[in-house]
Chain A
Amino acid sequence: MLPDKLKKWFITKRAWEIYVLLQNLSEAELGLLSDLREQIDLAVDSSTLILQSTWSLLNKRIAIRERYTFPKSQLKIESYSDALIESGDRVIIRADSAPHHERDYHRKLLARFPHHLHDENGRICSFSGDLEDFIKLTAPYLR
Chain B
Amino acid sequence: MPVRRKTFKLTKEQFFAEAMSHQPDRVRSMAKLAKQLQTYENKYRMRSEIFYKLIVGTPLEDQEDFLDWAACYRQYFKIFQSQLSAERIAADVAG
Contact = CB atoms under 8 A, between A and B. Distances in A.
Interface of A: 8-9, 12, 15-16, 19, 23, 26-30, 32-33, 36-38, 40-48, 50, 55, 57-58, 63, 65, 67, 81, 83, 85, 89, 91, 94, 96, 98, 100
Of A23, A43, A91, A98, the most chain B CB neighbours within 10 A belong to: A98
A100 B19 CA distance: 35
A99 B18 CA distance: 36
24 contacts: A12-B15, A19-B10, A26-B4, A27-B5, A27-B7, A29-B5, A30-B7, A36-B19, A37-B19, A38-B22, A41-B23, A41-B24, A41-B25, A42-B33, A50-B68, A50-B71, A50-B75, A57-B2, A58-B2, A65-B68, A67-B71, A81-B67, A85-B64, A100-B58
Contacts of A91: 64
Contact of A41 (B22, B62, B65, B77): B22
Contacts of A40: 19, 22
Interface in B46-75: 58-59, 61-62, 64-65, 67-68, 71-72, 74-75
B5 A16 contact: no
A24 to B, nearest CB: 10
Interface of B: 2-10, 12, 15-16, 18-20, 22-26, 29, 33, 58-59, 61-62, 64-65, 67-68, 71-72, 74-75, 77-79, 82
A15 B71 contact: no
B57 to A, nearest CB: 9
A12 B20 contact: yes
A98 B59 CA distance: 8
- Among B10, B25, B67, B77, residue most surrounded by chain A Cβ atoms (within 10 Å): B67
A23 B9 contact: yes
Contacts of A37: 18-19, 22
Contacts of B22: 37-38, 40-41
A37 B65 CA distance: 24
